[in-house]
Amino acid sequence: MTASPSSARCPHASRRVALALLGLLTCLAVAAPARELAAQETPAAGAIVSLGGTVTEIVYALGEEARLVARDTTSTFPPEAQGLPDVGYLRALSPEGVLSVGPDMILAEASSGPPETVDVLKAAQIPFVVVPDGFDAAAIRRKIEVVAGALGVSDKGAALAAQVEADLAAAVAAARSDTPARVLFVLSMQGGRLMAAGQGTSAEAIIELAGARNALSGFEGYKQVSDEAVLEAAPEVILMMNRGGDHGGGTDDVIAHPVLGKTPAAASGAIVRQPGLLLLGFGPRTPQAVKALSEAIATVER
């Protein structure tokens, strides 16, 4: 068929029409009823967007990675996932970015955002599966079950969940200590101000699974802490996430810090850095995270 004169004059017309339709969908979706997919449903979705590093890990662990068409910025493991189109940061998504890859299904961690974007995506007539947060053995099983159920591979999910549970139980048993180390998890020390983990956090959970205890208590979540609170906690180990490509450690910045440098951990060089997604993701690799952290704590001098 010969192209019409109008399309010949405007080669980008089809792209403009597609963008206009996407904008219209975004506007209408706000008023449409939300359509969430229950975990037990099993639609035949061939093109999946995964939002959240742990969700992406689960898809790969289930052997269903061929169905992924895009992922978010936090989905860095396995390394092959980074070859997929990136639709943006998990908590700062745009509906246009996610919908532009033409997904048949969206798998999203509960912490995905902002809320207005999630509302639009839920209303976009595409199955939207919310994968719950949580950081214990039961939560890991639930995450796997939800993803596997949505993908229609519940048997694979049951097998993976059972294996992860068994491996985690073994890692936790091996990590038990009669003298648990006091561990301070530092999320950030930007500008010299310390943001650390309190109670009810994934950092506290992984510390306890690894046979240690959180050096800080008396507050919930991740908060900026005073110099006095850190010195009073007297941590024996300082735990942080890796910096960029740093896979081992690096202690100079901690030792030079005016407060952290005065702690027992800094005095003995007991500073541990590990990959953030492995450490705090609470997904299929959590048994490895527990083992790696407990071994790191055991080998540092304190």
Q: What is the pLDDT of residues 44-81, one digit of tens each?
A: 468 999 999 999 999 999 999 999 999 999 999 999 99
pLDDT, mean of residues 194-220 = 97
| 35: pLDDT strictly greater than 90 | no
Q: Domains of the chain, with CATH numbers?
A: 29-166 (3.40.50.1980), 177-299 (3.40.50.1980)
CA pair distance 121, 98, nearest whole angstrom? 8
* C-alpha of 199 from chain center: 19
Mean pLDDT over 173-197 rounds to 95
In sequence order, which residues have a C-beta less than 8 Å from that of residue 67 and are 6 or more positions away? 45, 46, 47, 48, 59, 151
Least trusted range by pLDDT, from 147-151, 240-244, 246-250: 246-250
Q: Is the pLDDT of residue 11 over 60?
A: no
| In the predicted structure, residue 15 carries a pLDDT above the cut 60 | no
Average pLDDT over residues 90-96: 97
Expressed in angstroms, the distance from the first to the final Cα of the chain is: 78
- Cα 100 to Cα 69, 88, 177, 217: the distances in Å are 11, 12, 51, 44
Task: Indicate the average pLDDT of the chain.
Answer: 87
| Separation CA 293–CA 207 (nearest Å) | 8
Q: Token digits for 3?
A: 């192209």
Whether residue 257 has pLDDT greater than 80: yes
- Higher pLDDT, residue 36 or 62: 62
User: What is the pTM for the complete model shown?
Assistant: 0.83
Q: Encode pLDDT of 141-157 as tens digits.
A: 999 999 999 999 999 99
